[in-house]
Structure 1
Amino acid sequence: MFLLHRCCVFNRMYNSQTQACIVHAFRQCESFDNLLQAFKPKPYRSTMAKRTISSNAAALNEDGNTRLKRVSIEGNIAVGKSTFSRLLRQTCQDWAVVSEPVSEWQNIDNGTSKETGASPQKTTFACMSRFKTQLQPPPACLLSSPGTPVQVYERSVYSDRYIFALNMYELGCINSTEWAVYQDYHSFLVEQFGHQVELEGIIYLKAPPEKCMERLKRRGRPEEKTVQLDYLYKLHEQHQRWLVDRSTEIHFDTLKKIPVLELDASVEFQTDAAVQENYMTQVRDFFQSL
């Protein structure tokens, strides 16, 4: 959380050139430790920005409208996002899926999961890695597709804030000052990167917490051994408030009325061909409606 505090102080105290350096440092860093070392004013020359601008230009129709659609898959821990992502990849070549950087998180504090870690530093790292993931340019084959290409992310910078960070605050894992600083910096980054991190839609995989716990135990990730059913219930409630009840306070206009496709993930769709076909039909219709 020291990092967030430092960045927000920069945001309030320094001019736009220094703020640009903050964004540049974030874009160039490969790890949390490198990010801490990078916050020193330097000329703003972002190669990622150039690549992203070029990619965005390639994703435009002749009338200037964006062809590339960006969608996130949201849902509880062990709800089936990875399995669903593999199904998307197998269904259509116009759908590119960006997986969560699980291997990076597994290396933090000897494997402590980013979803169960209660320290502000882990919250910060997860936030940074999600931003980095969403800022990666789409693959060239996707941009050259004659159809309507869709970039799909396993979770997003928005679930980082409105699910996990908010849940940590409500559980008392971070205090009100740390929560305020996190929100301030998160908003700053979203505003800086603008449409590059915007979403056109969300796929919500919904399953009872008990089913998620069953799948969590079955996959047996070492970093998830300490996850309790009560914690999964809290995350389930956060998803319901955000994506179903729409009662979570949202701070970005494009996110307030974003289309959501809710799918029943309580069934074992990994091996049920009929359920898979039904899912993909709904997904295809959803993508076409965006």
Structure 2
Amino acid sequence: MASPVKSKPKRPYTVAVEGNIGSGKTTFLNYFNKHENVSIFTEPVELWRNCNGYNLLGLMYENPHEWSFTFQSYVQLTMLQQHCQRTHHPIKLMERSVYSASVIDEHFNWLTSYSDTSIDVIIYLRTMPELAYERIKQRNRSEEKCVPFEYLKEIHDFPRRLAIL
């Protein structure tokens, strides 16, 4: 007797919320927490703060030249884990995605070829760097105290520079 064909579970409608540090991504996502048909996946900051006892987020801000690749690699892994995490809700909202860390191009190309990281919509919250900087100060994460305003401005201006190229 032939075994029944198992159907592939339907993927939820997936939305990635992108934006600069302090742009309001978490606040935006928290608005949808009251809806029963939505799964919310915020950035796994606590994992980044404790990767086998290492605070990769803090190390990256303290010495980006030394720690950026290690940090981005771990961010990419944790984002992929969230992409692959199943949910029974029809809508999945994610704070950032594997698409926001695509600077590791070959790694990114491989994982998007061999994993279902499909997203239906990307929402980019464009926030003035001055407001983002104030929010970061109010949030008061110890790792972010050394983030200079100029860094936020560069990130803010980056999409505009890409459009010019």
Q: What's the TM-score once normalised by structure 1's chain length?
A: 0.48
Compare CA radii of gyration and give the structure with the larger one: 1
- Paired residue total: 154
State which of 25, 28, 35 in structure 2 corresponds to 1:81.
25
Measured after TM superposition, the shift of residue 82 of structure 1 is: 1.1
Q: Does 1:103 align with 2:46?
A: yes
Task: Name the structure 2 match of 1:132.
Answer: 81
| Structure 2: stretches of 5+ with no match in the other structure | 1-5
Kindly indicate whether the alpha-carbon contact (under 8 Å) linking 2:16 and 2:95 is maintained by their aligned counterparts in 1. yes
Q: Does 1:214 align with 2:134?
A: yes
Measured after TM superposition, the shift of residue 239 of structure 1 is: 4.3
Whose helix fraction is larger, Structure 1's or Structure 2's?
A: 1
The 3-state SS of whatever aligns with 1:70 is strand
Q: Does 1:112 align with 2:57?
A: yes
Which of 1 and 2 has higher RCO (CA within 8 Å, sep 6+)?
Answer: 2
Kindly indicate whether the alpha-carbon contact (under 8 Å) linking 2:79 and 2:98 is maintained by their aligned counterparts in 1. yes
Task: Name the structure 2 match of 1:152.
Answer: 93
State which of 231, 250, 255 in structure 1 corresponds to 2:151.
231
Q: Does 1:189 align with 2:111?
A: yes
Measured after TM superposition, the shift of residue 107 of structure 1 is: 2.0
Task: Name the structure 2 match of 1:32.
Answer: none
| Structure 1: stretches of 5+ with no match in the other structure | 1-53, 60-65, 143-148, 166-181, 249-290
1:99-133 alpha-carbon deviations (Å, 9 max, x no partner) = 11110111254463487362221121111111111
Could you tell me which amino acid in structure 2 is paired with residue 136 of structure 1?
Q
1:226-281 alpha-carbon deviations (Å, 9 max, x no partner) = 10111101111234567xx4x68xxxxxxxxxxxxxxxxxxxxxxxxxxxxxxxxx
CA distance in 2, matches of 1:231, 1:188: 29
CA distance in 2, matches of 1:225, 1:81: 19
Task: Name the structure 2 match of 1:93.
Answer: 36
Measured after TM superposition, the shift of residue 197 of structure 1 is: 0.4
Residue identity (%): 28
CA distance in 1, matches of 2:96, 2:60: 12
CA distance in 1, matches of 2:125, 2:60: 17
Change over 3 Å in CA distance of 1:113–1:80 after alignment to 2: farther
CA distance in 2, matches of 1:188, 1:222: 34
State the Cα RMSD in Å.
Answer: 2.4
CA distance in 2, matches of 1:153, 1:229: 26
Q: Does 1:57 align with 2:2?
A: no
Measured after TM superposition, the shift of residue 74 of structure 1 is: 0.5
The 3-state SS of whatever aligns with 1:129 is helix
CA distance in 1, matches of 2:108, 2:141: 29
After TM superposition, the runs of 4+ consecutive aligned structure 1 residues lying more than 4 A away are 239-242
The 3-state SS of whatever aligns with 2:16 is strand
Q: What's the TM-score once normalised by structure 2's chain length?
A: 0.82
Could you tell me which amino acid in structure 1 is paired with residue 50 of structure 2?
N
